[in-house]
Structure 1
């Protein structure tokens, strides 16, 4: 394992600590960062379950950082490692892109300060701590992922994508993604910082799907675009859809029926793109295993 990998692993794990400490404190009954009168305090059972789930999700980042850098991680079946990494990429990448944009817009006076929209629920400093940690996790875990993929599957990502993908499935993914981009465009017009990234990820997903049916596209280009766009669209779509269906303190902020359908479409598009990529790359030669 290289020095770079060791540093990235330490950074990824350290970036999880503030979030985990805060969440465990809330589960234990602490009100740190929760203002008096917050509706969160009126839904203790729901929030305890939600906090437990998110603790497990963030703890999974630590497990993934170890799997990407320890010898036993090379013995994990590819699908068992790639599926949680798909989810982690999809949830963390939009934050790594969106949070700096939000801070930049705030600094220029173009939007409200980060956390102001949730001030009735949480103190503003909570958002800074949480989203900064998520951004660092995204960068560190992403770096480890790139190193791991290059060592384990580097040869599979060279050259041009072989034919045989068909047309209907890629076009279905592209169509669903473009529809999602159109729906999110209205929010992006009102608030480019908040709605713009949703449009971006949907367009990236559509571009990856359309490249599959293009003449001899480069494998790495398709994989990078498909992984980033597909995971972000599907993971955030699933999270938002789950949020819209769950009972809790945010009922007034539930998405509309149209947005819920859009999120469902994003989930389907991302899942189909993941299956398409797995099918196309399954027969390509993998680089021999080596130390990471």
Structure 2
């Protein structure tokens, strides 16, 4: 039996061309996030020298940006790991976790960014103008390039990396496995569907759960973000159902596995970011929702994300075990 470049049977490899694409995309992700990192480091240094924004206290601003500095450093390291050979030798658990969180933060924003860009080009007022206008244009451009480049790089490099490293988890069709229904997963899917419907209602202009004192914060940009969150929550429900029920039988396995991984990361990562913001309220941060509604939705979203990831990892381990290889985690 011939062997592929990663030591797997050749028929499970992705080929030299896709490996090259992965390396390029990984470098794009790392270099793009380096621009974001540079801006954040500059902001922290400026605040420590007494040049922070007027609407944030120095400590709040430094802590907030210090967190994003750590996240950006992790993003750069992740991009390099996806691009370099040594990334294939890293332990599976940290690779999966940081890939999951990073992809969950950024990749789901790609459709939102496209729609936002089109509406902006058409002259549609998205709202949030004061905040976006407060940063110098060069810094805003660097931040935008950092987000977009990292998101595109992850969207391209990560699936190829996972396919190369754990090929059996992604080849074949959904019907090749055995159904894995369970009560906790069913409950998680129901919760995710409920969150998706709630966010869809907010995206369409609904006001259920919104605080009348802060409804003016709910501009078109916020509604687009809720539409994005709703989309990925509902995609998560569909893909997890496909994995656990093995239906549609002819569906290629990599589609629900990839979508479930991304949706789980989106539910988990964004709510892990927003929940502390809701509780701590740095710089007078306020949400359009009632505080308790915000806390409950983000706590539920975190839990659902963890359950969905567990479904993906269990399916990957079972497929890899059946092929005699080690699965992720």
Q: What's the TM-score once normalised by structure 1's chain length?
A: 0.86
CA distance in structure 2 between the partners assigned to 1:106 and 1:273 by the alignment? 34
Q: Deviations over 1:172-194 (max 9, x none)?
A: 12111111112212320134523
CA apart distance, 1:270: 0.8
Pairing 1:119-130 to 2, within 5 Å after superposition: 119=132, 122-123=135-136, 126-130=139-143
In structure 2, what is the equivalent of residue 92 of structure 1? 106
In structure 2, what is the equivalent of residue 251 of structure 1? 285
Task: Choose which of 240, 263, 266 in structure 2 pairs with 1:229.
Answer: 263
In structure 2, what is the equivalent of residue 111 of structure 1? 125
CA distance in structure 2 between the partners assigned to 1:255 and 1:131 by the alignment? 27
In structure 2, what is the equivalent of residue 203 of structure 1? 234
Pairing 1:240-279 to 2, within 5 Å after superposition: 240-253=274-287, 255-256=289-290, 257-279=292-314
Secondary structure in 1 aligned to 2:180? coil
Task: Choose which of 299, 316, 320 in structure 2 pairs with 1:281.
Answer: 316
* Contact 1:158–1:218 (Cα < 8 Å) also in 2: yes
- Alpha-carbon RMSD across the aligned residues, in angstroms, is 2.8
CA 278–288 in structure 1, closer or farther in 2 if over 3 Å, else same = closer
Secondary structure in 2 aligned to 1:208? helix
Q: What's the TM-score once normalised by structure 2's chain length?
A: 0.77
CA apart distance, 1:253: 3.6
Secondary structure in 1 aligned to 2:196? helix
CA apart distance, 1:65: 1.7
Secondary structure in 2 aligned to 1:21? helix
Structure 1 unpaired stretches of 5+:
none
More deviation in 171-180 or 117-126? 117-126
Task: Choose which of 54, 57, 78 in structure 2 pairs with 1:38.
Answer: 54
In structure 2, what is the equivalent of residue 165 of structure 1? 180
CA apart distance, 1:117: 4.8
Task: Choose which of 195, 202, 223 in structure 2 pairs with 1:187.
Answer: 202
* Contact 1:95–1:131 (Cα < 8 Å) also in 2: no
* Contact 2:168–2:316 (Cα < 8 Å) also in 1: no
Number of matched pairs: 284
More deviation in 144-153 or 54-63? 144-153
More deviation in 228-237 or 187-196? 187-196
CA distance in structure 2 between the partners assigned to 1:71 and 1:136 by the alignment? 21
CA distance in structure 1 between the partners assigned to 2:159 and 2:109 by the alignment? 19
Secondary structure in 1 aligned to 2:172? coil
In structure 1, what is the equivalent of residue 150 of structure 2? 137
Whether 2:26 is the aligned partner of 1:9: answer yes
* Contact 1:181–1:200 (Cα < 8 Å) also in 2: yes
CA apart distance, 1:45: 0.9
Secondary structure in 1 aligned to 2:46? coil
Structure 2 unpaired stretches of 5+:
1-15, 206-219
CA 209–151 in structure 1, closer or farther in 2 if over 3 Å, else same = closer
